[in-house]
Homo-oligomer: A and B are copies of this chain.
Amino acid sequence: MSRVARRGATATIRPDEAEFAPIRRLSALAPLSTREVNFLIELMRRRQQISARTELITEGVAIPAPMLLIDGWAIRYRLLADGRRQIIDLCLPGELIGPCWPVTPAAPSSVMALTPVIVADAAPLRNLVRVAPEDCSNLALALEYCAGLTETSLLNHVVRLGRQTAYERTAHLFLEIRDRLALSGCGNGESFPLPLTQETLADMLGLTSVHINRTLQQLRRERMITMSENMVTLLEPAALQAIADYHSPIDLQALRI
């Protein structure tokens, strides 16, 4: 059963389980010392529970602080004047929010919780890496990898929106989500939670919800995926990979995941 789905339904969290996501993710990117892990655990002690649909960052307003997303899903998005919305990126459990915009006076996009979310203030993390990088070389390395992965996700997104069909886009996004969740130890092989409405998926992929609906139907009809209870299972990952021209940004095998 889906941890996220269960959480989405009941809004109950098991903190000791949840807080593994950031540590699993960062230590998969660079093996962390005990000291570094303890630093992260300490950081996450000051957590904050935030309910779904809450705006964490508002476009145009100074960013309060970078955040570590301990658990739950969020979206980065921009709105056009007439109400059109484009989702720029997903923020998945274990990932960082806003680390790249330290001196930016105004956030270039908004961030909103999609599910109930647990975040921690990541400012101490940034400060540690800045002030005493020699004390946390592995952590610093992991954070650089994080930045690279975020970048890669953005590029993927641009290519999807610019040059792929609805069918390809959807397949590509699902493969990316699978890999990103796997890195944080979420998901389960070819199955993963997907707590998104079709409307949200549409705003992510630059389509309408009607068209997303039909595209998902096609993917199911052709036995590429199954969906139930906010869970997606990729039945033909290799075929999807070929269709979407998807390449994993990281060698998940090499990271022992």
Contacts and interface: CB of A to CB of B under 8 A. Distances in A.
B159 A78 contact: yes
Given A80-B159, A163-B206, A151 B88 contact: no
The number of chain A residues touching the other chain, given as a range, is 35 or more
Contact of A84 (B82, B104, B163): B163
Contacts of A87: 162
Contacts of A162: 86-87, 161, 205-206
Contacts of A88: 155, 158-159
Interface in A227-257: 245, 249
Interface string A84-111: 1111100000000000111110001100
A141 interface: yes
A148 interface: yes
B104 A148 contact: yes
A85 B82 CA distance: 30
A84 B161 CA distance: 13
Contacts of A9: none
Contacts of A101: 148, 151
Contacts of A205: 162
B103 A141 contact: yes
Nearest to A162: B206
Contacts of A132: none
Contacts of A102: 144
A106 B127 CA distance: 28
A157 interface: yes
Given A80-B159, A108-B152, 16 more contacts: A78-B155, A78-B159, A80-B163, A84-B163, A86-B162, A88-B155, A88-B159, A100-B147, A103-B144, A104-B145, A104-B148, A108-B151, A158-B158, A161-B161, A161-B162, A162-B206
Interface of A: 78, 80-82, 84-88, 100-104, 108-109, 141, 144-145, 147-148, 151-152, 154-155, 157-159, 161-164, 205-206, 245, 249
8 contacts: A78-B159, A81-B245, A86-B162, A101-B148, A108-B249, A157-B158, A161-B162, A163-B206
